[in-house]
Structure formats: structure tokens, C-alpha cells
Amino acid sequence: MYKEYFGFEEMPFSIAPDPRYLYMSEQHREALAHLLYGFNSDGGFVLLTGDIGTGKTTVCRCLLGQIPENSAVAFIINPKLTVEELLATICDEFDIRYPAGNTSIKVFIDLINEFLLGTNAKGHKCLLIIDEAQNLSADVLEQLRLLTNLETNQYKLLHIMLIGQPELRDKLAQPELTQLAQRIIARYHLGPLPKKDIFSYVAHRLSIARMRRGAQRELFPSSTVNTLYQYSNGIPRLINIICDRALLGTYVQGRIIVSKTMVKKAAKEVFGEAVHSIEPRRMPVSVVVPFIVIFLFLAGVLGGTYFVYDKKTANKELQNTNATVNNTTATQAETTTQTETTEQPQTNMLAWPIDKPVYLSKDMAFQSLFKQWGIIYEQKGNITACEQAQAKGLHCLNSIGTLSDIKQLNKPSILRLFNENGAEFYAVLISLNNEAAMLAIAEEIKQVAIKDIETRWKGEYTLLWKAPPGYRGYIQPGDEGKIIEWLDKQLSRINAQDPQPRENPLLYDEALVKEVKKFQLAKGLFPDGVVGTKTLIYLNSLVDSGEPRLDKQKHAEANALHREVKQ
């Protein structure tokens, strides 16, 4: 109803688990990192718990967008099942055919095992996600544990993620489930958003839903944050419901800004009379007055103590303070003189230029990133930037991490940033050292302090990378082809040695797998010997392949370019 009135392309506060709307708070980023670690590990259980409405399911949907497309995924959202029903549901999700009316657990498990082995032989992974897992019975949980017994000599064939409310942790702590609990390789508990994130959360959802050329006004001023936090307790789902109702009320009144009064009214409509139970409690006067009397008494005592302070000691400290001030002033004057004679690198505030529409920032960032690779980016509504890159022989990596991660990957990267009001914009990281970075923001090159980036960035980045000849996806032990020769040569160049003679240079044999694992371990990657996207990028970044690199353009050159652009 209010969508067109406020200029939205879609409803901003829908409670559907759309990963595009996931606000990457520090907690959500860590939760996603735990899930990704579990998926990339040798197998076992991963546990994600959290209160109702904290975003557990949305984080899972985000995970599905980051794992390889050829992965086999089963997603169970109604786990109130018997053991036989669970196994039948897993078969249905993996599209495994079984005899009609079958109730034999052995038949189900044999078919699942056969499917897992066949999928593994193709180099693909199998993932089972169970939402609302607190509803699983002890018998079903034990059967899930038995499913993780399906394995090769190196790793489990099935990765299982249990997503549920806090009582799931209590259930897994029961003595009869000790064996399952011991197989949990990663666990994380997702809590409510802190108050400091509420404004950015709301602004993030508004920016995603707003039309590309729609108004960019601030609908929820910062003055509403305390009220939103008071009634939602930081639970994202409750924030969505209250904001949705508040926007509707604002629309009905013909206003354009959501007031604190409207947020309170919306909360009372959502919660009814129960809303009064979460409003701040006021102390009765009979309790407050004695506290005031005691406070005044203590203040008088401390004040008297201060005024009888030894006068000689005070004078001595005053003389020392004056001497310190004089020395400091002289030092500052000397420092100022040195600064005037030595050019110091200057950093800029991290912000989108006010004379440029912020809805253009993503396209402008891709234009800049493509330019780093010597190719042209075109704005095509039906073709994404990553599809354009693929047509030019490049691939996209969309990931979440830290600046240290990007520094190791050593590739220019698009960062998704947020301004002081929480609205998103995009910039390209083109150079990076320990203290500052060079960013392409709109049509300008700016040097920005690392600490400023960290306060405006939630860890999301996109980079381009070039695959080696013969690349067809993940390189698994036992694979053959020209790409194995390339892999051997890259490792040898990095180790500054000639490739060692091997019986079959085109075979990814045990000796080469061992070298890859050693390399992955040194780079902080999971040492599984599987050569995926990040391993390939690291291998290319450590040799001079002629590709754009963060360390290739020195900061001095970037500063010169910055001054040139400014002029």
C-alpha cells in the first residue's frame, strides 16, 4: 500500500528470509563464517542457535548463495518427523528414488549412501540443513549421527547443519546425545542486534528496497532508534514488523518522516497491551528520595576531603604541571616545523560525494574494477557484471572477510560500505598497506585510513580473478589434465625451485596434494588439498602474472594519481 508512496521497488520490512536483505552485523558475519567453515571442513555437525527472529534462516540462505552451484543441498524446514520420515524426506530433497511405501531404514540408508558416493566421485559436496532443529527427537538426532558415519578414508560424505532455538543446545547436552555433541566441529549462538546497529539495520533494508532512482531521504531519523530498540529488544524480526506498521501509519497520515510517536503507536498495535511490560520501569518516589539523600551526603564528604587537601602538595603538583605544559608546547612547535618541511600523507574522510547520486555507486564501482583489468563495463539491465566478466574470461568472487583476507588475495576489490546514516555505497580498493588504503570512490581516488574503512564496512567484498587454462571447477585429488601441470609450475615458482619429475605430470597425485596442503596451511586456508577459488587466487597473486594487484601500485604512485585527479 505504501510502497509507491515512499518510492520503494519492494516492501523493505518483509519477514521473508531474503539473503539480499541480510544486514551483516559483526554477529551475522561470524555466524556465516562458522557455517562456511563447516561446509569446507572434512565433515561433521555445525550448530547455529539463536532466539526467534534473530536471522538464523536468513544466514543459511546467504550461505547457499556462497557455496558452489554443483553442491547437492537438502533443506528440511519441518523436522517433526520419525526416523523413517526423516530418511524419506532426505531422499526427496536429494531427488533419490526409493520404492513406493518403503519403511525399511536399511533401504533408505543404502540409497543415501550410494547417492553420496556417486556425488563425491564427481567432486561435489552434499549438505543437509535442518531448520527448527530443536524439534528433533532424540531418536532422529541419533540417526543423523549415524548418517555421518558414511565416509571415505579422508572425509565425511555428508555435512549436516542444525539450526534452532536456544533449547537445541540444552537438548544436545543430554547424556544420551554425547556422541553427537562430540561431532560438532563449529557452533555459534546468534543474539539480538545491539542498539548501535539498529539505525544501520533499518537504513540497510531501506536502501535495498528503494527504487534505483527513488528518493534517498531519511525515513527513520536517528531519534527513533532508542524507541525501536526499546520495543524490539534488538530482534530483527520485531524491528521489521514495527517498522512496517510505522510506515503504514505514516502513509495514512500523509507524512514523509516516521516519528517516535508513530513507532510507539505501531508497537502497541503489534503487541497490544503486552507492550507495556517492556517499557522502562520507573522507580517509585519512596525509593528515589533515599538514594538522592545518600548521594548528597557522600558528595559532601568527598567535597570536604578535597578541600582539606595538603596545600603544599597541591602547589608542588601545579609547578610540575606547568613545566610539563611548557615542554609539551615546545615539542609541538618543533613537530609543526618538521611537518612544514616534510610532506605527510593525508587521509580523506570515507564518504560518497554529495554531488553524485548514490544509486550509481555500484555501477561506477564495477566500471572502476573492470578498468583495473583493462576491460569495459557496460550497464545492461539483463546481464549482471559477473556475467560480463565471465564473457571476458574472468570470474567473480563474492565473499565476506577482513582487510587482511583481501590483502592476501592481493586483488582490487569492491567494498560494500555504509555512510554515517547507514545508507550503502560502493567503492573499489585499489591499493592497501598497514595504515591506509587507496579507494576509487565515484570518479575520485582517495587515501583513507584503515580504521575509517573498518567502521564503514561489514566485510562484504567482490573481486575478479582469472582462471588458469583448463579450469573446470574445483581440482580434486586424482584429477587429470593440463591444469595439473600449471598447478605444479605455480607451486615450484613460489618455492623458487624447478618442478620435481613425476611419473604422470598431468595427474594430481599424492605428492602434489601434500604440497598444496602445505601451501593452504601457510595461507590460513583449510588444508584439504582441494584447489578451490581462493587457493587459485593465492597461487596467482604470489607470482608476477601481469594481473592487477593491490601491492603492484605503490602508495606513492597512488598519491600522485590522487593529486592529479584533484587538480
H/E stretch holding 91 reads helix 83-93
Domain match, 98 and 48 both:
yes
Domain match, 126 and 261 both:
no
- Are the C-beta atoms of 177 and 141 separated by less than 8 Å? yes
Does some domain include residue 347? no
**Tens digits of pLDDT across the chain (567 residues):** 788 888 888 899 998 888 888 888 888 888 888 898 888 887 789 999 999 999 999 999 888 888 887 889 999 988 889 999 999 999 999 999 999 888 899 999 999 999 999 998 888 889 999 999 999 999 999 999 999 888 776 778 899 999 999 999 989 988 889 899 888 988 999 999 998 889 888 988 888 887 444 445 678 888 888 899 999 999 999 999 999 999 999 999 989 899 999 999 999 888 875 554 444 434 443 443 344 444 444 444 444 443 333 434 434 443 443 443 344 334 443 433 343 333 444 555 688 888 888 888 999 999 999 999 999 998 876 788 888 998 888 999 888 777 888 888 889 999 999 877 777 899 999 998 878 899 999 888 999 988 888 888 878 889 999 888 888 777 888 888 888 988 998 888 888 887 778 888 889 998 898 888 888 877 766 677 888 888 888 887 776 667 898 886 544 444 444 444 444
Domain match, 381 and 441 both:
yes
- 3 state DSSP class of 165: coil
Cell numbers that stand for 388 in this block: 560480463
Partners of 45 in the beta sheet?
A: 160, 184
Domain match, 160 and 200 both:
no
Does some domain include residue 461? yes
Domain match, 184 and 215 both:
no
Compute the distance between CA of residue 492 and CA of residue 520 in angstroms, rounded to an integer. 14
Does some domain include residue 311? no
Domain match, 514 and 423 both:
no
Domain match, 35 and 173 both:
yes
Q: What is the DSSP string of 221-263?
A: -GGGHHHHHHHHTT-HHHHHHHHHHHHHHHHHTT-SS--HHHH
- Are the C-beta atoms of 120 and 152 separated by less than 8 Å? yes
Whichever domain contains 7, its CATH number is 1.10.8.60
| Last residue of one domain, picked from the residues 278, 309, 328 | 278
**Domain housing 50:** 24-190
Phi, psi of 419 (to 5 degrees): -80, -175
Does some domain include residue 251? yes
3-state helix, strand, coil in the chain (%, to 5): 50, 15, 35
Angle at which helices 195-209 and 236-252 cross, to 10°: 60
Domain match, 460 and 389 both:
yes
Of the chain, the end-to-end C-alpha distance in Å amounts to 49
Domain match, 48 and 171 both:
yes
Compute the distance between CA of residue 449 and CA of residue 1 in angstroms, rounded to an integer. 44
pTM over 0.85: no
Please give the tally of structural domains in the chain: 4
Domain match, 226 and 373 both:
no
Compute the distance between CA of residue 305 and CA of residue 200 in angstroms, rounded to an integer. 47
